Amino acid sequence: MNDKPNANLFCALRAAFPADLDAVAIECADGPEGLRYSWRDLERGTAMMANLLGSLELSPGSRIAVQTEKSVEALMLYLAVLRAGFVYLPLNTAYQASELEYFIGNAEPAVVVCAGRCFGWVSKIAFLAGVQNVFTLNEDRSGTLLDRAAAMSDQHEPARKNANELAAILYTSGTTGRSKGAMLTHGNLLSNAQTLKAYWDWQPGDVLIHALPIFHVHGLFVASHGALLNGSRMIWFAKFDPRAVIARLPDATMFMGVPTLYVRMLAEGALDRNACRGMRLFVSGSAPLLIETFRDWQQRTGHTILERYGMSETVMLTSNPCRPEDGDRIGGTVGFALPDVSVRVHGDGGRACAADEIGNIEVRGPNVFAGYWRMPEKTAEEFTTDGWFKTGDVGRRDARGYFTIVGRSKDLIITGGYNVYPAEVEAYVNDMAGVAESAVIGVPHPDFGEAVVAVIVPKPGAQLDAAAITTALKAGIANFKVPKKVFIAAELPRNTMGKVQKKLLREQHQRLFA
């Protein structure tokens, strides 16, 4: 008999459900009128889906890849994967066929779940890669996954897990265009959720407006785990609508968003102090929040946005204070290192940086991932000899302990909260007929934070059409990676060593969207 507590993340989330299982857990704000899910619905639905997965006789540690639109059933599927003891692999709904081929080939999932309208092309990729099980799940509560699960028992004993066993793999773009699967354990995710619950002072009776996608850290882990671990009701938006979200603010106490969402709400006349009268906390992350947005929000609503910093490999690392006694929320910073998380700034030679000196941000703690899927050499490269993870971000820490992120050491572009690595887009552009070379950069954008811009040099005698290149890219890569502007140029600026000077290109186009 095993007396050790079950470290399955699902068990901790389930233990936080309120005593009244018939109370509303999730209210769908933009679905069929009156559609609500009780805590009992979550308990039964996840049990039935977990039993379906269990009936497939999958190997321990099997990956379940999911590319579906946001729905409560999709959230229940995530919880069911945890419950059944398998590994959840969320995929951005914008990914195209070539991208999905790589993820499925690399992760070798035992099950793929996709939207019904995509079944034709997704199932072809999956079956060719040797996947045995492909199900559909649609946002209107239909699909073969739910059809099969409906026949299953609504009783299920959660699989026993150790804290160091894998719970999820999140793919993060690589600087060479090759995505890396960040392996997150049950312990990683639970420790971070518990830390945020305490630090953000979650209260009994808190209600969260959930308007984020659930294929990345912010919406799936930070927001969903927060509400579930607090037994809090969620007002659920499948798609963000600024006017509709503002109309529901009086019914909620918490909102989490990326900067783009705050910019879009500020454009609505209905946003004022009265609309926010019952709100307790607004959180922003996944991209830098412009100081202008920070101040405009303060002025319009009377609330100060809490900015925080994290990444796929670590979940959350730092946060501006929630409670006034812990300090002020300072715009342009990402606050202090979270309790249980260690953050340092070091120079290239491993030297500790002084206060306000810019250097490489390195972290360690129970939230730091277990490594990159099937990339032991890459994993080893990304950790220092004394065991700190090298985030690839560049920043500084002031004398008070507030961290500020100043950029990426690897040219990462963050647009609308999504990560874009220039090398990946450049690889697609450079493969096109008539293209000699390209440089992809990020420039300031008032709505998205940064916009992707491509500067392309044609081969001698070739005639390139910017609109045709954009159209071709839209068919090959996720829409958020497609350049918002394409320039055709005679040459790219280079230094004496022949390296493209992207800094000069960014300076040249920095006012493009002003």
pTM: 0.85
What pLDDT, on the 0 to 100 scale, is given for residue 53? Answer: 98
Q: Is the pLDDT of residue 174 over 50?
A: no
Q: Is the pLDDT of residue 173 over 70?
A: no
**Does some domain include residue 158?**
yes
Mean pLDDT over 212-219 rounds to 94
Angle at 95 between CA 94 and CA 98, to 5 degrees: 150
Domain co-membership, 469 together with 344: no
Q: Is the dihedral of CA 42, 314, 84, 204 positive or negative?
A: negative
Q: How far is CA 90 from the centre of its chain?
A: 10
| CATH for 337 | 2.30.38.10
Q: Do 224 and 10 form a contact (C-beta atoms < 8 A)?
A: no
Banded pLDDT at 499 (limits 50, 70, 90):
low
Residue in the structure block whose two tokens are 């199932």: 123
Which amino acid makes up residue 476?
G
What pLDDT, on the 0 to 100 scale, is given for residue 374? Answer: 96
For the record, the structure tokens of 431 come out as 């493969």
Domain co-membership, 350 together with 488: no
In angstroms, the CA 500 to CA 502 distance is 6
**Does some domain include residue 233?**
no
For the record, the structure tokens of 318 come out as 């730092």
Domain co-membership, 372 together with 420: no
What pLDDT, on the 0 to 100 scale, is given for residue 175? Answer: 39
Domain co-membership, 389 together with 449: no
408 forms bridges with which residues in the sheet?
393
Domain co-membership, 402 together with 489: no
Which among 354, 386, 408 is the end of a domain? 408
In angstroms, the CA 341 to CA 308 distance is 13
Phi, psi of 321 (to 5 degrees): -65, 150
What pLDDT, on the 0 to 100 scale, is given for residue 176? Answer: 42
Domain count, the chain: 3
Domain co-membership, 378 together with 504: no
Give the contacts of 350 (CB within 8 A, at least 6 positions apart): 384
In angstroms, the CA 458 to CA 146 distance is 50
Domain co-membership, 439 together with 382: no
Domain co-membership, 52 together with 123: yes
Which among 156, 189, 222 is the end of a domain? 189
For the record, the structure tokens of 167 come out as 């719970």
413 forms bridges with which residues in the sheet?
420
**Does some domain include residue 303?**
no
Domain co-membership, 393 together with 453: no
Mean pLDDT lowest among 49-58, 296-305, 499-508 = 499-508
HEC secondary structure over 299-311:
HHHCCCCEEEEEE
**Does some domain include residue 290?**
no
Mean pLDDT over 391-412 rounds to 87
What pLDDT, on the 0 to 100 scale, is given for residue 410? Answer: 66
Q: How far is CA 274 from the centre of its chain?
A: 31
Q: Is the pLDDT of residue 482 over 60?
A: yes
Angle at 453 between CA 451 and CA 454, to 5 degrees: 160
Query: Three-state SS for 372?
Result: strand
| CATH for 180 | 3.40.50.12780
**Does some domain include residue 456?**
yes
65 burial class (0-12, 13-18, 19+ CB within 10 angstroms)?
buried
In angstroms, the CA 233 to CA 205 distance is 8
For the record, the structure tokens of 266 come out as 């500020």
pLDDT tens digits for 429-475?
A: 988 999 988 999 999 999 999 999 999 999 899 999 999 999 999 99
Mean pLDDT over 188-211 rounds to 98
Share of the chain above pLDDT 70, in %: 97
Which among 408, 439, 464 is the end of a domain? 408
Q: Do 7 and 186 form a contact (C-beta atoms < 8 A)?
A: yes
Domain co-membership, 385 together with 426: no
Residue in the structure block whose two tokens are 């090398």: 423
In angstroms, the CA 114 to CA 109 distance is 13
Q: Do 10 and 83 form a contact (C-beta atoms < 8 A)?
A: yes
What pLDDT, on the 0 to 100 scale, is given for residue 497? Answer: 41
Q: Is the pLDDT of residue 498 over 70?
A: no
**Does some domain include residue 221?**
no
Domain co-membership, 363 together with 499: no
Domain co-membership, 52 together with 151: yes
pLDDT tens digits for 362-377?
A: 999 999 999 999 999 9
Domain that holds residue 86: 9-21+36-189
